[in-house]
Amino acid sequence: MKEIRTAIMMLALFTAICGGLYPALVTGIAQGVFPEQANGSMIAGKDRRLLGSTLIGQPFSDAKYFWGRPSVTAQFGYNPMASGGSNAGPGKPEYLQTVQERVKLWRDSGVTGALPAELVQASASGLDPHLAPESVALQIPRVARARGIPEADLGRLVAAHTEGRQLGFLGEPRVNILELNLALDGKGR
């Protein structure tokens, strides 16, 4: 009986520490030191209305916007509650058909030459918010035509929204598509 009482006391103690005190401490520190990141890196407009998160890709299909990486999340594209890629690969005819349809979409929008894989293949999470600067640059002529903006002005806007490597050596340069499109609409930060 003594061992059972000790086991129950240890369970209660570790439940309180690991399930209550530690998460409260970590949450408090995160809110105090990194409040924006702790709350999902949300982007709010000038009217304080939430517009999205810098961490989650969003669908853009209008020609006047830069398009992000395709999404294959469950139920509907860019579903943050169903993050995850698909098991589809080049051995599946359905996958090849989907890629061919995406290539056709880019060709119909005026893009010629080689297409980066990230423009026609979804990421593992299905929610990638970034594209390589080269993939964004391919879209400048379409967006310039749709908005009546000189391509050089869009090129400067893309350059201003290009994030470098983390710590100078990790990862690759990238552009957050939501932030870029919000800047196009004058809602960016």
Q: What is the pLDDT of residue 189?
A: 55
pLDDT digits (tens, 9 = 90+) for 1-24: 899 999 999 999 999 999 999 999
Residues of the chain with pLDDT > 70, as a percent, come to 98
Say what the alpha-carbon torsion angle 97, 98, 103, 104 is, to the nearest 10 degrees: 70
* pLDDT at site 105: 94
The answer to whether the beta carbons of residues 139 and 66 sit under 8 Å apart is: yes
Q: Is 152 helix (H, G, I), strand (E, B) or coil?
A: helix
Residue with token string 């005190």: 21
The pLDDT of residue 77 is above 60: yes
Instruction: Tell me the pLDDT tens digit for each residue of 112-145.
Output: 889 999 999 988 888 899 999 999 999 999 999 9
The type of residue at 181 is: N
What amino acid is encoded at 30 in this protein?
A
- What's the average model confidence in pLDDT over 79-87? 79
Q: Against a cut of 0.75, is the pTM above it?
A: yes
Residues with Cβ within 8 Å of residue 8, at least 6 apart in sequence: none
Mean pLDDT of the chain: 91
Give me the residue spans of the domains in the chain.
Answer: 1-39, 41-184
